[in-house]
């Protein structure tokens, strides 16, 4: 049956009054719309017993259809006619008392997505655009939320058990994947955090138990995911395959090829302070290893030898530690700033 065009106010249910006072056993709806195939007209359905619905829609597809909608609003704003536009607006006005969290009592929910039947649907919410040029500016815009104890912008409940809480693996994030606080816009980072106010903690980490605690609370690995480069375990022990560099304490480690009889610079010690320096040839014994204190007084770098190997002669060139070897070899060196 074809419907004629309906103009403004031709259908008006604004004065509807419920007919049955028993709100616990009978479903009521001002307007019900059902759509199904010709073979099963009983699939048009009704609201559940006790439901009180202004507009009820049920679409049941028997055939294999590429697209099925329950409701499909389309809003067109003509070119050159700017306007505030909404596809759907949901208003809930509570006149008694603040409601509780969803599904814990008499709640009030703006939009609820319910999964039924026996198989899993794709997504509770999805956005889409027909071209790259007309993409949505924001995925979700939240405002006027909070003011109650335990309130949250996004909160999961007991039956949530996804593999990933938030997954940006397929997104081209051009600045910061997660931005907390007004971090500088020119910074590119996976996670950017700005301390909210002085005296507060920027990032807070807590281990799960104090009894038989184990594991790392921070772990940094290589791209192949087969080597831990840096870690901080649950006891506060810091481990790194590189070196520590801090204002008052840092360390370094490396190797340098040295030709026989040639004084060769190994590494600089430019910062004022006291260092413990070790230079050795792996597996070559005591004559090919030396240990010294190195002191940079702000003007001059000088050495205070602790153990000197006959074939490994340490020296200074400017603010760099040097080594002169009896034979051509590769030396391993380490240093730690201790004061």
3-state secondary structure the chain: CCCCCCCCCCCCCCCCCCCCCCCCCCCEEEEEEEECCCCCHHHHCCCCCCCEEEEEEEECCCCCCCCCCCCCCCCCCCCCCCCCCCCCCCCCCCCCCCCCCCCCCCCCCCCCCCCCCCCCCCCCCCCCCCCCCCCCCCCCCCCCCCCCCCCCCCCCCCCCCCCCCCCCCCCCCCCEEEEECCCCCCCCEEEEECCCCCCCCCCCCCCCCCCCCCCEEEEEECCCCCCEEEEEECCCCEEECCCCECCCCEEEEEEEEECECCCEEEEECCCCEEEEEEEECCCCCHHHEEEEEEEECCCCEEEEEEECECCEEEEEECCEEEEEECCCEEEEEEEEECC
- Residue 315 is assigned to a structural domain of this protein: yes
Predicted confidence at residue 59, as pLDDT, reads 82
Q: Which residue has the tokens 């709806």?
A: 29
Residue 317's pLDDT band (cuts 50, 70, 90)? very high
Domain-terminating residue out of 241, 264, 282 = 241
- Which residue range forms the structural domain that includes residue 214? 210-241
- Residue 108 is assigned to a structural domain of this protein: no
Residue 214's pLDDT band (cuts 50, 70, 90)? very high
- Residue 120 is assigned to a structural domain of this protein: no
Predicted confidence at residue 60, as pLDDT, reads 81
Cα radius of gyration rounded to whole Å, the chain: 35
Does the structure show a pLDDT above 90 at 263?
yes
Residue 10's pLDDT band (cuts 50, 70, 90)? low
Q: Is the dihedral angle over the CA atoms 301, 302, 307, 309 positive or is it negative? A: positive
339 versus 213: the higher-pLDDT residue is: 213
Average pLDDT in the chain: 86
- Structure confidence by residue, pLDDT tens digits, 29-68: 667 777 777 776 666 667 777 788 888 888 888 777 888 8
What distance in Å separates the CA atoms of residue 139 and residue 137, rounded to the nearest whole number?
7
- Residue 65 is assigned to a structural domain of this protein: no
Q: Are residues 259 and 327 in the same domain?
A: yes
Q: Are residues 270 and 320 in the same domain?
A: yes
- Residue 326 is assigned to a structural domain of this protein: yes
Does the structure show a pLDDT above 90 at 318?
yes
What distance in Å separates the CA atoms of residue 212 and residue 272, rounded to the nearest whole number?
43
- C-alpha of 157 from chain center: 19
Domain-terminating residue out of 187, 219, 241 = 241
- Residue 226 is assigned to a structural domain of this protein: yes
Q: Is 209 left (phi over 0), alpha (psi -120 to 50) or beta?
A: beta
Predicted confidence at residue 116, as pLDDT, reads 85
Predicted confidence at residue 262, as pLDDT, reads 95
251 versus 141: the higher-pLDDT residue is: 141
The maximal CA–CA distance of the chain, rounded, in angstroms, is 106
Predicted confidence at residue 26, as pLDDT, reads 64
Q: Are residues 307 and 261 in the same domain?
A: yes
- Residue 284 is assigned to a structural domain of this protein: yes
- Residue 75 is assigned to a structural domain of this protein: no
In total, how many domains does the chain have?
Answer: 2
Q: Are residues 289 and 223 in the same domain?
A: no
Q: Are residues 226 and 262 in the same domain?
A: no
Predicted confidence at residue 23, as pLDDT, reads 55
Cβ-Cβ contacts under 8 Å for 271 (sequence gap 6 or more): 296, 337
Q: Are residues 306 and 325 in the same domain?
A: yes
Predicted confidence at residue 63, as pLDDT, reads 76
Q: Are residues 220 and 257 in the same domain?
A: no
Residue 138's pLDDT band (cuts 50, 70, 90)? very high
């Amino acid at each position: 049956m074809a419907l004629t065009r309906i103009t403004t106010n031709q259908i008006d249910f604004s004065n509807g009054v419920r007919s049955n006072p028993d709100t616990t056993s009978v479903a009521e709806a001002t307007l019900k719309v059902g759509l199904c195939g010709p073979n099963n007209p009983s699939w048009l359905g009704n609201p559940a017993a006790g439901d009180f619905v202004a507009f009820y829609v049920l679409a049941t597809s028997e055939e294999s259809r590429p697209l099925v909608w329950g409701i499909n609003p389309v809003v067109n704003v003509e070119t050159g006619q700017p306007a505030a536009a909404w596809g759907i607006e949901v208003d809930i006005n509570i006149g008694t008392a603040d409601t509780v969290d969803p599904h814990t009592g008499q709640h009030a929910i703006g939009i609820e997505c319910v999964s039924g039947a026996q198989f899993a649907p794709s997504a509770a919410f999805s956005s889409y655009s027909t071209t790259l040029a007309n993409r949505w500016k924001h995925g979700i815009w939240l405002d006027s939320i909070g003011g109650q104890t335990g309130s949250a912008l996004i909160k999961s409940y007991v039956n949530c058990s996804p593999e990933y809480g938030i997954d940006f693996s397929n997104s081209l994030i051009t600045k910061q994947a997660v931005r907390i606080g007004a971090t500088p816009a020119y910074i590119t980072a996976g996670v950017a955090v700005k301390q909210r106010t002085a005296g507060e903690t920027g990032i807070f980490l807590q281990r799960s138990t104090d009894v038989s605690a184990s594991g790392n609370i921070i772990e940094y690995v290589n791209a192949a995911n087969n080597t831990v480069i840096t870690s901080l375990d649950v006891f506060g022990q810091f481990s790194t395959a590189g070196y520590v560099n801090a204002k008052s304490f840092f360390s370094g480690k490396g190797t340098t090829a040295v030709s026989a009889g040639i004084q060769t610079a190994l590494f600089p010690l430019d910062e004022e302070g006291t260092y413990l320096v070790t230079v050795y040839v792996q597996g070559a014994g005591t004559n090919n290893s030396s240990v010294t204190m190195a002191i940079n007084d702000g003007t001059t770098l000088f050495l205070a030898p602790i153990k000197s190997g006959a074939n490994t002669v340490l020296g200074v060139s400017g603010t760099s530690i040097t080594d002169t070897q009896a034979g051509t070899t590769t030396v391993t060196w380490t240093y730690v700033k201790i004061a």
